[in-house]
Amino acid sequence: MALWLDILREKNELAGQLSEKIPRFLAYEGLTLDQATRLHIFLENHAEEMRRLAREIGAVDLIDALHEAADALDRIFSDLAAAAELKVAELRQKEAHAKAPPAPKLAYN
């Protein structure tokens, strides 16, 4: 059980730090599509790891508080990943518009 507690404490600390930093990072005007994509993958990997951890904790029938903590951390990482995913979509759209050829001018008689 001590191992589970250590992992949850570590993930909780990381989630707290990221919850403060990620919104500012996503709001940064100079954020590139590549950076946002990498961030999304990083966060999604952490969310998936927390889902796996929650399943493992549930399978070994540890106290409910540990399972609830893992679920809560999964939600935090999932919410951060979703915010990064939205930013990726926004940046892709901006990039597509920047690369699109200009609309033809209409001639009026």
* Angle formed by the axes of helices 64-99 and 33-59, nearest 10°: 160
The radius of gyration of the chain from alpha carbons, rounded to an integer in Å, stands at 20
pLDDT at residue 92 in the model: 94
SS3 at position 16: helix
Tokens representing 84?
């990064």
Phi-psi region of 103 (alpha: psi -120 to 50; beta: other; left: phi over 0): beta
Confidence at residue 63, expressed as pLDDT on a 0 to 100 scale:
80
List, run by run, the mean pLDDT of 10-residue segments along the chain (109 residues): 84 95 95 96 93 84 82 93 97 85 68
The domain locations on the chain are 15-99
User: Between vectors from CA 87 to CA 83 and to CA 88, what angle results, nearest 5°?
Assistant: 115
Amino acid identity for residue 49 in this structure: E
Whole-model pTM? 0.83
Give the model's pLDDT for residue 109: 58
